[in-house]
Amino acid sequence: MRNIKIVIEYDGTRYKGWQRLGDSDNTIQHKLESVLSKMAGENIEVIGSGRTDAGVHASNQVANFRTECTMPDHKMLSYCYEYLPEDIVVKSVEEVDTNFHARYNVKVKKYVYNICNNKVHDVFTRKYDYHVALPLNIDKMRKAAEFLIGEHDFQSFTTLKSKKKSTVRNIYTINIVDNDGNIEISIQGNGFMRNMVRLIVGTLVEVGLSETDANEINDILDKKERKYSGHIAPAKGLFLEEVDY
């Protein structure tokens, strides 16, 4: 039994997220499994590094699957390119140790969120960024981000419903770069929960608009309730950028 690691790039605009759904075949996981199962002549289950929500994109999503297929790696790569839809591309295929697990072995994930902070939106990037017309105070946003660095209970920053799963995560870095109104927020951490990055971004935007004070972030964390954090930033601006093992 071979264990195959793949790195995938996808535009999530028209999909209902990564995870396979019982009532829809319009997910990234389903599309991959359909093509790989036909390629291998057996049912293939693809394990992703994590689930991206509907409309979220990935530059370097990592996944693995087990197969008896003897097709060489480079031919698998060509097969995927030929038969997957054009908004999903498998960038690399590599046979790895049988112990490798795309989800359980993750050490660091990096997400990038794009904001267009100009009076008018950019026609060519409008599908991949969040247009905020009013000026954002980047210094205030950076100050607020500092409170989120480190290990915290991020229950206020997730829509996760389960009370059994831990909501403690460690955020290593949050970098905010403004390039003439094109703002990039990159966040690195050991793991992220449902809508966590988008809630962090939404809260930082509200700080940048002076709707929330940067010093309130600690209080929001301490209250451990979703209703105290900001709005959920649109999915279209979010990219899974890196997964490190």
Question: In the 8-state DSSP scheme, what is residue 21?
Answer: B
Instruction: Spell out the CATH class of 2-96.
Output: alpha beta
Confidence of residue 161 (pLDDT cuts 50, 70, 90): confident
Smallest CA-to-CA distance from 191 within 172, 217, 163 is with 172
Among 11, 23, 25, 53, the one annotated catalytic = 53
Matching fold, domains 2-96 and 108-244: yes
Helix, strand, or coil (residue 149): coil
Domain made up of 108-244: CATH architecture? 2-Layer Sandwich (3.30)
Smallest CA-to-CA distance from 150 within 173, 167, 124, 122 is with 173
Over range 100-121, report the average pLDDT. 97
Q: Does the annotation count 180 as an active-site position?
A: no
Confidence of residue 44 (pLDDT cuts 50, 70, 90): very high
Confidence of residue 68 (pLDDT cuts 50, 70, 90): very high
In terms of phi and psi (left: phi > 0; alpha: psi -120 to 50; beta: otherwise), the region of 17 is: left
Beta bridge partners of 94: 5
DSSP characters over 174-217: EEEEEETTEEEEEEEES---TTHHHHHHHHHHHHHTTSS-GGGH
pLDDT digits (tens, 9 = 90+) for 206-223: 999 999 999 999 999 999
Parse the chain into domains and list their residue ranges.
2-96, 108-244
Confidence of residue 163 (pLDDT cuts 50, 70, 90): confident
Q: To 10 degrees, what angle do helices 138-146 and 196-208 make?
A: 130
